[in-house]
Amino acid sequence: MKKVTTVCPYCGAGCKMNLIVDNGKIIRAEAANGVTNQGELCLKGYYGWDFLNDTKLLTPRLTQPMVRRQKGGKFEAVSWDEAIRYTAQRLKEIKQKHGPRSIMTTGSSRGTGNETNYIMQKFARAVIGTNNVDCCARVCHGPSVAGLQATLGNGAMSNSIGDIENSKCLLVIGYNCADSHPIVARRVIKAKEKGAQIIVCDPRRIETARIADQHLQIKNGCNMALVNAFAHVLIEENLYDHDYVAKYTEGFAEYRKNVADYSPEAVEEQTGVSAQQIRQAMRTYAAAPSATIMWGMGVTQFGQAVDVVKGLAGLALLTGNLGRANVGVGPVRGQNNVQGACDMGVLPNEFPGYQSVTDPKIRAKFADAWGIDVNQMDAEVGLRITEIPHLAIEGKVKAYYIMGEDPLQTEADLGLVRKGFEALEFVVVQDIFMTKTAEQADVILPATSWGEHGGVFTCADRGFQRFEKAIEPKYNVKRDWDIISLLATEMGYPMHYQDNQEIWDELRSLCPLFYGATYEKMGELGHVQWPCTTLESPGTQYLYADNHFDTPTGKGQLFAAPWRAPAEVPDGDYPLVLCTVREVGHYSCRSMTGNCAALQTLADEPGFVQMNPVDAQALGIRDQQLVWVASRRGKVISRANYNERINAGAVYMTYQWWIGACNELTQDNLDPISKTPETKYCAVKVGQIADQ
Ligand code: SF4
């Protein structure tokens, strides 16, 4: 038996764990004493590994390269040589005929690691010649990145996961940590035990609301109005830090004007939160010696998400809750390596290390390092994954190379996404399971899984952590970056790396923010938070020390926008709001957790639609009854789940079920800046399926 130290492949909490391997098979997982998890794991950490033993519960593992030479034809098993030759040939033809910007690529925020994401964006930029590379951050915390970059200069969590328990006030908005990041939720409980005030803003009485001192049960879709009212109270009641605002921020006069109309009394009816509660929340937040704001998808998956993130940063700036330990702004990133995918430049506007693609000096630096003519590089910002369905239908995107993502399950308005896929000429899927997207591919490139390779992940608090290979792959699969390198070489750009560290050292040399994060420093249980700019630096626990912000002027930017209504509001035909949520036992498209026996027993297809009993009974719907849920875009089967913790007038569904996929119903109203869809709000109706 051997014990291999790795990092959990699910959420961004970054829990360190040991896989116990016997005779080439993983037999159990144990918690390791990592910096973020301190010897604890949630159930996904303990039971989320046995897909590696090929349990075949949900979908089969991809075991060999396959090609489908005609649309609608059958997959044909081919050799790796043939798969690489065919894929390279098709991509070259499309590039020649339609130009490099007709090809879209994705990185992956899951088990594949930072090295692979670096190689994928290098492939897009150096081999294809496009900035069309993106990842699922687009559909989750894209607005956090954009909003925080604009206000504070850096798109990541300003604080650390370990800091949370030492904060004296936690303002938790649109974030159900008990389901999304159970080990982060432990820190919230510890903060409470240490005497912190907990303020929760959420339409549901989520687990955190149960232990909260104040629960502001906001109506769905009103975040901007509430955040503006918070700012209004801080200013009107003179609770803000005048000295801090004067020294370290810009834009106060305009900001004050923009929130003037948002008195708590003015937004009471709209938000469903009493003026007294709004005032009390801000009195508590402003009085705390240290205060932290935490948020999740309940902030970011709206058509006005970037504005709300800017507003939340404004609250921290008004009260001086930045630039020291135990305070800050914490967008808690969802997937285990979504922070890393962004760090590695799997973004259409930034090279690795958050260096702009529109800066000629930066382009020249990367062109020089990669040995290509700078004129071959795309000087414009590339496409976002949420734009692809529309652009494919318009004929502007012809090929899509998708690595470790499942847009045909996870993106909003699946009917639209399917039309986009039908219009594409060539789809390559590089993955570990036959996902819904893989089923539509022209070429399948089977990759090794987490557990079968090593690398570096970045957890939600900017912490780089190494994970190790535990077992040998059983099938005819290759490491992700080996596959991409073979394709690059076949397309005329030789790419040869010996190992992960060679890739890591190349990217470190090009990214000042990461330069000091060496493999050695990350060690076995190491957790090196960027910025880590020198070999001597231990990394950075919190951003903006000395209250210097990474904005062009060095000052925090105060910003407030008027509230905008969601794009589709309930009416007589579709009287309920649908909001998509997470559940603790499964993750994302479920391709991994759905193939783990212990997790598979936790819930069953077709998933649930959570309903307030008042709404359900008005429709004559019993608890656990099969129902249909319909929006203007689709109709799915689900199972009614009475839930008194949710607000009347809204229903909640998780998005991973194949039958009852709630993204058949959601809409792609995109935030104008981040292009993130409004999957937290659309209008639906629910009805009984004939008595069973
Ligand atoms: Fe894995 Fe997240 Fe659970 Fe930790 S909290 S064990 S990282 S899923």
Q: How far is the CA of 46 from the centre of ligand 1 (A)?
A: 9
List the Cα angle 502/432/136 in 5-degree steps: 75
Would you state the pLDDT for residue 656?
85
- Band of residue 575 on the pLDDT scale cut at 50, 70, 90: very high
Domain locations in the chain?
Answer: 2-53, 66-136+348-463+473-515, 142-332+553-557, 576-688
Question: Residue 642 — very low, low, confident or very high, per pLDDT cuts 50/70/90?
Answer: very high
Nearest CA to ligand 1 atom 2: 11
pLDDT of residue 524: 76
Going from the Cα of 365 to the center of ligand 1, the distance in angstroms, rounded, reads 37
> Of 7, 36, 37, which is best to mutate to test ligand 1, by the most ligand atoms within 8 angstroms of its C-beta?
37
- ipTM score for this prediction: 1.00
Q: Which atom of ligand 1 is nearest to the CA of 10?
A: 8
Is it the case that residue 692 has pLDDT exceeding 70?
Answer: no
Tell me, what's the pLDDT at 206?
96
pLDDT attached to residue 326: 97
Q: Give the ligand 1 atom nearest the CA of 183.
A: 5
The confidence score (pLDDT) of residue 110 equals: 83
C-alpha to C-alpha distance for 558 and 546, rounded to whole angstroms: 18
Token couple for 289? 């010696």
Q: What is the CATH code of the structural domain delimited by 142-332+553-557?
A: 3.40.228.10
Q: Which of 33, 47, 176, 181 to mutate to test the pocket of ligand 1 (most atoms within 8 A of CB)?
A: 181
List all residues 6 or more positions away from 227 whose beta carbon is below 8 Å from its beta carbon.
173, 308, 311, 312, 314, 315
Q: Ligand 1 centre from 617 Cα, in Å?
A: 36
Please determine, for residue 364, whether its predicted confidence score (pLDDT) is greater than 80: yes
Report the separation in Å between the CA atom of 47 and the middle of ligand 1, taken as the mean of its atom positions.
11
Distance 584 CA to ligand 1 centre (A): 10
- What are the tens digits of pLDDT across the range 44-102? 999 999 999 888 888 899 999 999 999 889 999 999 999 999 999 999 999 999 999 99
pLDDT at 615 over 70: yes
What's the CA-to-centroid distance between 10 and ligand 1, angstroms? 6
Closest ligand 1 atom to residue 42 Cα is 3
Angle, CA 550 vertex, CA 548 and CA 552 arms, to 5°:
105
Q: Are 353 and 514 in contact (CB under 8 A)?
A: yes
Q: Tell whether the model's pLDDT for residue 361 goes beyond 60.
A: yes
Q: Which pLDDT belongs to residue 57?
A: 84
Q: What is the pLDDT of residues 520-574, one digit of tens each?
A: 999 877 999 999 999 999 999 999 998 999 999 999 999 999 999 999 999 999 9
What pLDDT does 658 receive? Answer: 86
109-129 tens-digit pLDDT: 987 899 999 999 999 999 999
- Model pLDDT for residues 261-314, shown as the tens digit of each residue: 999 999 999 999 999 999 999 999 999 999 999 999 999 999 999 999 999 999
Mean pLDDT calculated for residue range 625-629: 96
List beta partners, residue 684.
576
High-pLDDT (> 90) share of the chain, %: 91
> 3.50.50.60, 3.40.50.740, 3.30.930.10, 3.55.50.30: which CATH number matches 66-136+348-463+473-515?
3.40.50.740
The predicted pLDDT at position 198 comes to: 98
483 neighbors 445 (Cβ within 8 angstroms): yes
Q: Which residue, 392, 352, 635, is CA-closest to 515?
A: 352
DSSP H stretches of helix in 446-515: 480-490, 500-510
DSSP string, 256-312: HHHHTT--HHHHHHHHS--HHHHHHHHHHHHHSSSEEEEE-HHHHSSTTHHHHHHHH
- DSSP secondary structure letters along 215-249: EE-PPTT-HHHHHHHHHHHHHHTT-S-HHHHHHHE
Ligand 1: which of 33, 42, 207, 332 to mutate, judged by most atoms within 8 Å of the beta carbon?
42
pLDDT on residue 116: 97
Distance (angstroms) between ligand 1 centre and the Cα of 586 equals 11
Query: What would the pLDDT profile of 382-410 be if each residue is shown by its tens digit?
Result: 999 999 999 999 999 999 999 999 999 99
* Max Cα–Cα distance, the chain, nearest Å: 70
Point out the ligand 1 atom lying closest to the alpha carbon of residue 45. 6
Average pLDDT over residues 438-458: 97
Instruction: For residue 418, give both structure tokens.
Output: 């399917």
Give distance in angstroms: CA of 322 to centre of ligand 1: 27
Note whether 58 and 406 are within 8 A (CB).
no
329 contacts 157 by C-beta, under 8 angstroms: yes
**Is the predicted pLDDT of residue 491 greater than 90, yes or no?**
yes
Task: Identify whether the C-beta of residue 393 lies closer than 8 Å to the C-beta of residue 417.
Answer: no
Indicate the top mutation candidate among 6, 7, 10, 596 to test ligand 1's pocket, ranked by most ligand atoms within 8 A of CB. Answer: 10
User: Cα of 362 to ligand 1 centre, how many Å?
Assistant: 36
Give me ligand 1 centre to Cα 44, in Å: 6
E strand residue ranges, 33-120: 66-67, 76-77, 103-106
Residue 11 Cα: closest atom of ligand 1: 2
Mutation to probe ligand 1, out of 183, 333, 583 (largest number of atoms < 8 A from CB):
183
| Contact criterion met (CB below 8 Å) for 531 and 282 | no
CB-neighbour burial class of residue 628 (10 A; exposed 0-12, middle 13-18, buried 19+)? middle
Q: Residue 127's closest CA among 399, 443, 376, 426?
A: 376
Question: Ligand 1 pocket by C-beta < 6 Å: which residues?
Answer: 8, 10-11, 13, 15, 37, 41-42, 44-45, 181-183
Q: How far is the CA of 589 from the centre of ligand 1 (A)?
A: 16
Question: Residue 600's pLDDT is what?
Answer: 86
The pLDDT of residue 242 is 98
How does pLDDT run across 129-152, given as a tens digit for each residue? 999 999 998 998 999 999 999 999
Name the CATH superfamily for 2-53: ADC-like domains (2.20.25.90)
pLDDT of residue 355: 96
Predicted confidence at residue 606, as pLDDT, reads 85
* 8 Å CB contact between 588 and 624: no
Q: How many residues does the chain have?
A: 692
Nearest-atom number in ligand 1 for the CA of 17 is: 6
pLDDT over 70 at 597, yes or no = yes
The pairing of beta strand 66-67 with beta strand 355-356: unpaired
- pLDDT value, residue 58: 85
Q: What are the pLDDT digits (tens) for 173-189?
A: 999 999 999 999 999 99
CATH 2.40.40.20 fits 576-688, yes or no: yes
List of E strands, 409-555: 426-431, 443-446, 455-458, 463-467, 528-529
Instruction: Find all residues with CB under 8 Å of 73, minimum gap 6, and list them.
Output: none
Q: What is the mean pLDDT of residues 152-173?
A: 96
What does DSSP say about strands 608-611 and 463-467: parallel, antiparallel, or unpaired?
A: unpaired
